[in-house]
Amino acid sequence: MIIETDEVVLMGENEDLAASLVGGIWLSFRESIPEPQARILIEGFNLIILSDPSQGDMDELADDDRLAGRVDSLLPGMLTQILVDDATTTPMKKMAVFELITNNIIETLTRMGFTLDDDIVNHEYLPELNKILSFFYDMQQYEDVVGIAHLLESQDIPQVNRFLLAMSKYLGDKFPLDNYELILLDVSEVTLKAIRDGLELPDDSEGIPEAVIQRIRANAELIEGTKGYEHVIMNGGVGGSVDSYMEFFKSDLAEVFQRNDPVAYAKELAAIYLISDLNTPVIKKAVLEFIYTVVTDHAALYSVEAFMNRLVLDND
């Protein structure tokens, strides 16, 4: 998971970063499509640039110090490629740009711990996708006077519902959430804590979500000796994405897999998933779904399932 909240990046309401990064060809395209659609694309582009921590500083693009985000060098280039194609009509270019921005926003939200319904979400939901991401950043500079922090900490409310209720508190009870309920399946506890931390002084909100701490402690004996367990006791980072841990422990996992001991492999996977940003109720299913793709022996799978059933996953 990539969540950067150390510095709040302020952008003006009418800021258009594509104008700086792509130039005149973008300005011409922007003027050729309806203004409401252009505003949606501008907001999406701005949010993608704001959210990407992997490339160079943008300070030189600004007239002042308001822009402190990072540039994904691929996005402006891909956008330019679409716009310079003289063989493509404006409506076709518009569709391609919508899909490009939408796909990048989806990728960004996924990295940040949001689970979207892949069967539903598409470019038609770009306004909602933008709003989800912009809400996250809005909370990094919001003085909480309506109890959003308390709501985000309410363990008796499912994570996705906590997020939607927080949006409703911020945007107003009359703000329609129907589309958000359709496309948003889950929100990581780590993401909710990052939002909550943005509402408080840093000294009052350090650490990782209590639910993650509890499940690691509850399963410490079961995962002892795994790479994930050693990572924790050596003060390694907790609450990252499963993909990032799988890549980090890639060679170790391959070595365990080669031993032809599915239970040991499941143990390593369980440790990784337990220290990740996944919400506790989905961990068992997620591990087993992965195991089923690489282990086919029924007797071995029975042993794996027996091990997974020993995990304590009811702490949140």
User: Any idea where the domains of the chain sit in the sequence?
Assistant: 17-203, 210-308
Query: Contact 5/194 with Cβ under 8 angstroms?
Result: yes
Q: Give the pLDDT of residue 72.
A: 43
The average pLDDT across 122-139 equals 95
Q: How far apart are CA 90 and CA 106, in angstroms?
A: 24
For residue 314, give every residue at least 6 positions away whose Cβ sits within 8 Å of its Cβ, in sequence order, or none: 280
The average pLDDT across 292-308 equals 93
As a whole number of Å, the CA-based R_g of the chain is 22
Mean per-residue pLDDT over the chain, rounded: 84
Q: Give the pLDDT of residue 66.
A: 33
On the question of pLDDT at 206 being above 60, the answer is no
The average pLDDT across 121-125 equals 96
On the question of pLDDT at 1 being above 60, the answer is no
The average pLDDT across 74-97 equals 92
Confidence of residue 13 (pLDDT cuts 50, 70, 90): low
On the question of pLDDT at 39 being above 60, the answer is yes
Closest CA to 17 of 36, 5, 52: 52
The average pLDDT across 63-67 equals 35
Confidence of residue 174 (pLDDT cuts 50, 70, 90): confident
The average pLDDT across 254-269 equals 94
Q: How far apart are CA 36 and CA 72, in angstroms?
A: 25
Q: Give the pLDDT of residue 15.
A: 85
The average pLDDT across 162-184 equals 90
Tell me the percentage of the chain whose pLDDT exceeds 90: 55
**Contacts for 218-225: CB closer than 8 Å, 24+ residues apart:** 218/312, 218/315, 219/270, 219/274, 219/311, 219/312, 222/267, 222/270, 222/307, 222/310, 222/311, 223/267, 223/270, 223/271, 223/274
On the question of pLDDT at 52 being above 70, the answer is yes
The average pLDDT across 20-43 equals 93
Between 297 and 64, where is the model more confident?
Answer: 297
For residue 97, give every residue at least 6 positions away whose Cβ sits within 8 Å of its Cβ, in sequence order, or none: 29, 41, 79, 82, 83
For the stretch 194-204, pLDDT in tens is: 998 888 533 44
Continuous segment of H or E residues that includes residue 115: strand 114-116
Confidence of residue 273 (pLDDT cuts 50, 70, 90): very high
Between 68 and 10, where is the model more confident?
Answer: 10
Least confident of 35-44, 98-107, 129-138, 238-247: 238-247
On the question of pLDDT at 110 being above 90, the answer is yes
